[in-house]
């Protein structure tokens, strides 16, 4: 996801929503404008140090571009950070750089966002870890909680199949409402002190 805000109050009003998205681990890039470079850092009207503002709120990548040639590399790193770390990033672009004509060397454009996203989505769990979890579920000796991340919000049907196979209830956070069919007749939570024995079936 991406969002754009103006300098000054546009950036400061963005803080709450951006930090909330960051806590939810939403890959998002926020681009804000700033004063021209010649007007920065000497008490110009509505001049806010935006990179420090967002970094203080918890964003690990928050940069204000200082040179037109730097913009391409900064945007490349920002997109890569957001997609690979599932976090929010911020890039401030001074208005005089926004209007500049850029001619960047090819090596600065080496990152391909579509390819990075494909590699992230293609990641699979370690087979030994998966086998260990399957054995634990089949034993029925332990209670197990599946914590499904926000990146799986489009996989509601697979989540329901897992719930059916393990006879498990599903509880969703507010921001996950609609990810699964909440009218589905899922089993009730286990009652009493003993753990329910679960049986795995093939997917």
CA distance 28 to 104: 24
Select the more confidently predicted residue: 194 or 38. 38
Which pLDDT score, from 0 to 100, does residue 190 have? 42
C-alpha torsion 32→16→154→75, nearest 10: 20
What distance lies between CA 12 and its chain's CA centroid?
Answer: 21
Question: What's the rounded mean pLDDT across residues 40-66?
Answer: 81
58-103: pLDDT as tens digits? 888 999 998 888 888 888 889 888 988 889 999 999 988 888 877 7
- Chain-wide mean pLDDT for the chain? 77
CA distance 25 to 37: 32
Say if residue 197's pLDDT is above 50: no
pLDDT range class, residue 194, cuts 50, 70, 90: very low
| Strand 28-34 to 2-5 pairing | parallel
CA distance 64 to 157: 42
pLDDT range class, residue 128, cuts 50, 70, 90: confident
Question: What's the rounded mean pLDDT across residues 110-119?
Answer: 62
- Between the alpha carbon of residue 117 and those of residues 30, 31, 191, the distances in Å are 18, 20, 42
pLDDT range class, residue 8, cuts 50, 70, 90: confident
CA distance 11 to 162: 42
Of 14-18, 41-45, 62-66, 191-195, least confident by mean pLDDT is 191-195
Cross-strand bridge partners of residue 92: 32, 64
Q: Cβ–Cβ contacts within 10 Å for residue 131, how many?
A: 10
Which pLDDT score, from 0 to 100, does residue 203 have? 34
- The set of long-range contacts for 25-28, using a CB threshold of 8 Å and a minimum separation of 24, is 25/86, 25/87, 25/149, 25/150, 25/151, 26/1, 26/86, 26/88, 26/150, 27/1, 27/82, 27/83, 27/86, 27/87, 27/88, 28/1, 28/2, 28/3, 28/82, 28/88, 28/89
138-182: pLDDT as tens digits? 777 777 787 777 667 778 888 888 888 877 777 777 667 777 777
pLDDT range class, residue 106, cuts 50, 70, 90: low
Which pLDDT score, from 0 to 100, does residue 28 have? 92
């Amino acid at each position: 996801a991406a969002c754009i805000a103006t300098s000054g109050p546009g950036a400061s009003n963005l803080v709450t929503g951006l930090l909330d998205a960051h806590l939810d681990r939403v890959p998002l890039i926020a681009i804000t404008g700033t004063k021209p470079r010649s007007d920065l850092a000497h008490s110009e009207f509505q001049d806010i140090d935006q990179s420090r503002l967002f970094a203080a709120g918890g964003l690990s990548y928050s940069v204000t571009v200082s040179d037109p040639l730097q913009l391409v590399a900064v945007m490349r790193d920002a997109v890569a950070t957001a997609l690979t770390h599932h976090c929010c990033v911020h890039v401030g672009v001074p208005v005089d750089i926004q209007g500049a004509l850029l001619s960047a060397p090819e090596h600065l454009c080496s990152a391909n966002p579509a390819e990075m996203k494909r590699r992230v989505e293609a990641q699979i769990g370690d087979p030994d870890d998966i086998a260990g979890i399957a054995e634990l579920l089949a034993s029925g000796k332990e209670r197990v909680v599946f914590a499904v991340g926000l990146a799986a919000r489009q996989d509601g049907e697979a989540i329901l199949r897992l719930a059916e196979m393990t006879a498990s209830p599903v509880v969703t956070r507010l921001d996950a409402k609609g990810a699964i069919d909440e009218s589905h007749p899922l089993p009730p939570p286990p009652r009493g002190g003993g753990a329910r024995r679960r049986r795995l079936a093939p997917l």
